[in-house]
Amino acid sequence: NAGVTQTPKFRVLKTGQSMTLLCAQDMNHEYMYWYRQDPGMGLRLIHYSVGEGTTAKGEVPDGYNVSRLKKQNFLLGLESAAPSQTSVYFCASSYPPDRVNQPQHFGDGTRLSIL
């Protein structure tokens, strides 16, 4: 099992460019999440999904869009990248809270720099 896989691992963009970050999980988890981590801080939730075809806003959703067309994939899009979106992005997945032992499992992160 690969767990949670994020693509790409690194990317440099120019202001105004668009891109999509891909997250794939092979644990059959219903829930998936996108977080961002800025220097010296903990992670903050951008968007999340509780199942295929559903998405919802987290703590810092502005400037991002997401899609969950397949259960195993969760895409994070930046339509017009801004320097304030320079960050490390983490994807995570979990079972729903009604199951026993539902920790979130994290990918290795995508380091994104916007010039």
* 33 near another protein (CB under 8 A): yes
| Pairing, β 10-13 against β 110-114 | parallel
What does the per-residue mask of binding to another protein show for 41-80, with x meaning CB under 8 A? xxxxx--x-x-----x-xx---------------------
- We find the least distance from the C-beta atom of residue 86 to another protein, in angstroms, to be 15
User: Residue 107: CB partners within 8 Å, gap ≥ 6?
Assistant: 3, 4, 5, 6, 23, 90, 91, 92
- We find the least distance from the C-beta atom of residue 58 to another protein, in angstroms, to be 7
